[in-house]
Amino acid sequence: MGQARRKEKEKQPESPPEPTPGQESVTPKAAWQKPQGLTRRGWAVLAGVILFIQFPLIHYVFLRGDAEVTAQVPYSQDFDDPAVVKRDFSSVGGYWRVMRGELLAPGVKNNPLWLQAPLPDDVAIEFDVRSEMPEGDIRVEVFGNGMDPASGYTLVQGGWNNSTSVLARLDINAQSLDVLKRRAARKAEGGGDASLASVFSDDTRVRVEARNTPVQAGRTYHWRIERRGTLLRWSIDGEPFLELDDPRPLGGPGHDRLGLSGFESQIYFDNLRVDSPERLPARARPAAPQVPAGPFADDFNRDTLGDDWNVTNPDAVKLVDGALVVELLHNRPVWLKRPLPRDATIEFDAWTDSPEGDIKVEAWGDGRSFYNGDLRLQYTATGYVFIFGGWRNTQSVIARQNEHTADRSVRDGAAVVPGKRHHFKLTRRGDTLAWELDGQPFLTLKDPVPLEGARNQYFAFSGWKTRVHFDNLKIEPLAP
């Protein structure tokens, strides 16, 4: 047999080598090939599945109509009937419900409960509301679309960890109204229109705010929201609070609903009224008697406290042997009705037989607030709180409204001597508060934003559980 030619040998494939004993044969891997794509029918099936799964969202975003109407203005609701939540309101989240004749918003996470009644352009809305949590954060929306939060004007009392209140248009985190006013002023310098309308559009997001106005846990507030023309006004307890004059007022279909709301707090609403401003006029708050701020003294040597004092927890207060005695007061102060001078000294004697200590007073508060919530939660005062031997006689503090925050002035260690009459002298001058105890300096607090004005000019004896005696109160204004 003849030998193969050289070219024929080169064309012949080489035989794979024989595997050695104990070695498995290795099959060469095939080269990677791109998998075949979906056919047109496959793509159609996939699109159909996606549309089916996402249909509720697509319907909500693109196909939904206006909010339903099941109620009419004028509207009045005392929340005595639990069925009213489903009958007259709607919401996309939150376990809204009626409890003991009040509407409860239990941490609804900014999911409003919308009244299913169109609001007139000029409207008055009133209701009572309280937060049971120290975070505050009471929210209400007006002229929204009845479905989405922040679709109208949002009013927040005690938001941002109970530090700020706002009236906002379309966005609670929007720019300040002052920014728009400065922008309009710059246009005027160039010869343009100086009015606010010149820098306003239909989708302008803006807010006005008030700081240092915390919500007091357990206190019931009365809100009134009123709009006439372009001016939206918000009052609390009969006093003007915030307002916004909107050159392009929201209104009409898509901006005609009222929503009660909240975030993480436990909030109760009651006594809702919605009507025209003419049929629901604002109730004038009774004027407080004009008592001049000045010297005052009380030795409590009588049988009853009398008209100079506002007792918010009568069962826990009495006069014994010429002294004011409080026990189980639970942060419901005994307020002196006479206003304090802006700068003054406050002196008194205080003592307790309890080793628990915990002697407490409040100064430059609002003269009427008290705690009425869950006793397991903390209380936010309206003034400066002085606590001697608190937390089982382990700590003394001067606190600005909240006795649990880090900005307090603190002195650690046992302080109250059971049975000893301690003499307090509290002095306020400008932005500084000084506390002398038994003739010696004890604590000071410097407040860069001092509490002052009509809401911060009253003194109170306060307390939690301990039985405490107070006597020989003396208040003197400081010379300018």
- What's the token pair of residue 450? 């001092």
Backbone angles phi, psi at 49, to 5 degrees: -65, -45
Range of the structural domain that residue 107 is part of: 75-275
Query: Rounded to whole angstroms, what are the CA distances from 275 to 129, 258, 415, 440?
Result: 18, 12, 56, 59
The reported pLDDT for the residue numbered 10 is 47
CATH (domain of 437)? 2.60.120.560
How far lies 393's CA from each of 175, 229, 327, in Å?
A: 46, 57, 16
pLDDT in tens, 346-365: 999 999 999 999 999 999 99
Same-domain check for residues 271 and 388? no
Those residues whose C-beta lies under 8 Å from the C-beta of residue 222, and which sit 6 or more positions away, are 126, 127, 128, 236, 237, 238
Residue 292 has what pLDDT?
65
What pLDDT, on a 0 to 100 scale, did the predictor assign at position 6? Answer: 45
pLDDT at position 163 over 50:
yes
Q: Is the CB of residue 434 less than 8 Å from the CB of residue 261?
A: no
**Co-location of 231 and 310 in the same domain:** no
Chain segment 260-278, per-residue pLDDT in tens:
999 999 999 999 999 999 9
The answer, yes or no, to whether residue 64 has pLDDT greater than 80, is no
Strands 231-236 and 221-228, bridge-based pairing: antiparallel
Percent of the chain with pLDDT over 70: 86
Residue 113: band (very low, low, confident or very high) from pLDDT cuts 50, 70, 90:
very high
Query: How high is the pLDDT of residue 2?
Result: 46
User: Same structural domain for residues 265 and 353?
Assistant: no
pLDDT recorded at residue 4: 47
3-state percent helix, strand, coil for the chain, nearest multiple of 5: 15, 35, 50
Q: Is 429 contained in some domain? A: yes
Residues 257 and 367 in one domain: no
Residues 317, 271 within the same domain: no
Which residues partner with 268 through β-bridges?
A: 104, 130
Per-residue pLDDT tens for 120-154? Answer: 999 999 999 999 887 889 999 999 999 999 999 99
State whether 300 and 432 are in the same domain: yes
- With respect to residue 451, please indicate whether it lies within any of the assigned structural domains: yes
Specify the pLDDT at position 17: 54
Q: What integer is the mean pLDDT of 291-315?
A: 90
262 & 345 share domain: no
Q: Is residue 53 part of a domain?
A: no
Tell whether 439 and 342 lie within a shared domain. yes
Domain total for the chain?
2
Cβ distance 374 to 134 under 8 Å? no
Report pLDDT for 309.
95
Say if CB 138 and CB 158 are below 8 A apart.
yes
Can you tell me the mean pLDDT for 11-36?
55
Query: How are beta strands 175-176 and 206-211 bridged, if at all?
Result: parallel
Instruction: Please tell me whether the overall predicted TM-score, pTM, comes out greater than 0.75 for this model.
Output: no
Could you tell me which residues are beta bridge partners of residue 443? Answer: 435
- 307 and 268 both lie in a single domain: no
Q: Is residue 13 included in any domain, yes or no?
A: no
Residues 256 and 322 in one domain: no
Residue 475 has pLDDT above 50, yes or no: yes
Among 57, 102, 391, smallest CA distance to 260 is for 102
- Same domain for 462 and 401: yes
Q: Is 90 exceeded by the pLDDT of residue 324? A: yes
Could you tell me if residue 33 is inside a domain?
no
Angle at 165 between CA 163 and CA 171, to 5 degrees: 115
Q: How confident is the model at residue 8 (pLDDT cuts 50, 70, 90)?
A: very low
> b/e for 379-388, b at 16 or more Cβ within 10 A?
bbbbbbbbbb
Is 315 contained in some domain? yes
Q: What does the alpha-carbon distance between residue 229 and residue 245 come to, in Å, rounded to a whole number?
A: 9
In a domain, 68, yes or no: no
Average pLDDT estimate for 207-228? 87
In a domain, 35, yes or no: no
What is the per-residue pLDDT for 118?
A: 97
Residues 251 and 302 in one domain: no
Q: Dump pLDDT digits (tens) for 394-405.
A: 999 999 988 888
Burial class (CB in 10 A: 0-12, 13-18, 19+), 467: middle
